[in-house]
Structure 1
Amino acid sequence: MSDNSALTPQEVADILKIAKNTVYELIKRGELNSYRVGRKVRVDSKDVEEYKNKTKSLKSNTQQTTIVKDQWRTPFSSEELPKSSSFVICGQDIMLDILSRYLQMHPNGVQTLRSYVGSYNGLYNLYLGNVQMATAHLWDGDTGQYNIPFVRRMLPGTSSVIIHLACRLQGFYVLKGNPKGITGWEDMKRKDITIINREKGSGTRVLLDEHLRLLGISSKNIKGYERESTSHLAIASTVARGGADIGIGNEKSCMQVNGIEFIPLQTERYELVIKKEDIQSPPFQAVLEILRSQEFRMELEGIGGYDLSEIGKIIAET
């Protein structure tokens, strides 16, 4: 990046590997400098670099509730890890940013750091003790279940609790009007289809790979399979500008991009995973109280795109 290049909020989100809505939150809180060109928001690349450098040097007693680290991949290096007293929540959905804000204000709450990694990497780091909470939407093709089989495999010898957050629709993003007549997973066999993929470790990538496995489709025969993007919005944007015929993501994100049609495929379960030994401690009890509160639920309903009928319910103990 040149020092004076102007970036759109979506380009900033792609660089930091966060949601575009989080970029707007950072701008609103004054943590990331921006300016307007007419009605459009722009951010200088040098300000993005300054923000990244600033968050790298933050101490555990900072007043900032969100830390974005573009290096956070599994496993964390010792230099990248927050201090052991930090309370870290893994996951990419904006509801976790809202949960962090509520948790900071709760009488029994705690300052919260956010790690924007996918489901697989989040569970792995929960097992290692690097984070306190991880979210997951991992579908197991053999059982048809979400999350429980993965938690049992990835947290061996560790008793854990799975708490339901929301159900979300997952499906294909295609151009408006669906010019190629795409209907489902079998279309991945077609030679005239190009996709844009999510990164390894994300729940969406696992969903695709499980369906390909069950259908006996080799990823080597799919155009665009190796091309990755790290957010639903970036995936939808790629399809909208003709960079791919199919992207996979949730319905909520698709609604924010013009020129995109959504083909629903299945309802996914988005859930929170914690170690059972922690659940009685005050911050974790505060999380349960927040999730079950009317105020928190109403804020999520205002955003839309969630089925919250079971929010806060303990689904399983492993």
Structure 2
Amino acid sequence: MSNEQSYTTEEIAKLLKISKLTVYDLIKKGELPSYRVGKQMRVDAADLEAYKQRTKSIKAAEKPALAEVSARPALSASHNGTRAVVITGQDISLDILAKHMERNIPGVRPLRAYVGSLDSLISMYRGESDIVSTHLLDGDTGEYNLPYIRKLLVGSSYLVVNLLSRWAGFYVQRGNPHNLGSWSDLKRPGLRLINREKGSGARVLLDEQLRLHGIPPDRLNGYHKEESNHLGVAGKVASGEADVGIGIEKAASIVGNVQFIPLIQERYDLVMMKKPENREWIESFIYILQSDAFQNELRTIHGYDLSLTGRILLET
């Protein structure tokens, strides 16, 4: 193997004949050193080879074979008696939620996967994640999330519960030099946009608004220039590389020289599959969402509306 070569989590899963969940678990435990390129986690070939050599030296009695690990269901007990629960999404509230789960649900080890809303639902459909976050606007109904969940998880038994609501809108430079205040303003010639990646909630929001306002995407200068998170979009606007971007209020408060123009309050929901092996932790999970301890911690973060937090929105 070349020391310059690296692999994605999907490629490692195929090479080792294990599940992506097991790869995430190895990265979480530090057994596979990794780094992020865009929205992908990557592992150098040299580190993968070192892991393989260590694995070969461990007696079968001390550790299950890789083939046995790959055959386990997503939430089966690991070698130390805990269950890995993969939580997808990028909002900091999910990191806080994972911390509360680790403290208060015995036998559960939360793992974080930083992917967008649509990709999160697809990963759940494929059985690769356990709690997915989503903020996807259906422009025809004005409804968030449920239309997409019903279509993608058709035939499945699942639970949808609200995490929080938050404002989404434009990032513009301080003082709003182009006087942007509505979605229709994107029709103006000469505006430079910085976009989010396909599958993210912000990208779906923009695409739906462009469709509703009859704005062809190709008319937008920068439509195909992408950033993988809200901070990246806000940063491009702050530096003057773009005139406008789509994102949430919190990122604007972190990045200097950026003003936030609120346009829509989006509902940020969580989805869980009602599988038999999930039932024992789902009840505790709902209790955490509804607890004062968790909600009081979220209240310290500007821009969150917790009026629906912990409310079950749909159960099939």
**TM-score, normalised by the number of residues in structure 1:** 0.75
Residue 277 of structure 1 deviates from its aligned partner by 3.2
CA displacement 1:111-162 (0-9 Å, x = unmatched): 0111100000000011111111111000000110000000011112112211
Out of 70, 85, 88, which is 2:86 matched to?
Answer: 88
Q: How does 1:1-318 map to 2 (within 5 A)?
A: 59=26, 62=29, 70-71=39-40, 84=74, 85=76, 86-108=84-106, 110-277=108-275, 281-318=279-316
Residue 137 of structure 2 contacts residue 204 of structure 2 at CA under 8 Å; is this kept in 1?
A: yes
Alignment: residue pair count:
256
Identity of aligned residues (%): 45
Residue 221 of structure 1 deviates from its aligned partner by 0.8
The alignment partner of 1:281 has SS state of helix
Correspondence for 1:48 = none
CA distance in 2, matches of 1:82, 1:193: 52
Residue 161 of structure 2 contacts residue 269 of structure 2 at CA under 8 Å; is this kept in 1?
A: yes
**TM-score, normalised by the number of residues in structure 2:** 0.75
CA displacement 1:178-225 (0-9 Å, x = unmatched): 111111111111112111000000000000000111112111110000
Residue 162 of structure 1 contacts residue 272 of structure 1 at CA under 8 Å; is this kept in 2?
A: yes
CA distance in 2, matches of 1:279, 1:82: 15
Residue 278 of structure 1 deviates from its aligned partner by 5.2
Classify 1:276/1:58 alpha carbon distance in 2 versus 1 (closer, same or farther; 3 Å): closer
Classify 1:61/1:222 alpha carbon distance in 2 versus 1 (closer, same or farther; 3 Å): closer
Residue 174 of structure 1 deviates from its aligned partner by 0.5
Classify 1:216/1:264 alpha carbon distance in 2 versus 1 (closer, same or farther; 3 Å): same
Match for 1:59: what amino acid? Answer: L
The alignment partner of 1:111 has SS state of strand
The alignment partner of 1:164 has SS state of strand
Classify 1:130/1:68 alpha carbon distance in 2 versus 1 (closer, same or farther; 3 Å): farther
The alignment partner of 1:180 has SS state of coil
The alignment partner of 1:255 has SS state of helix
**Which segments of 5 or more consecutive residues in structure 2 lack a partner in the other structure?**
1-21, 43-69, 77-83
The alignment partner of 1:270 has SS state of strand
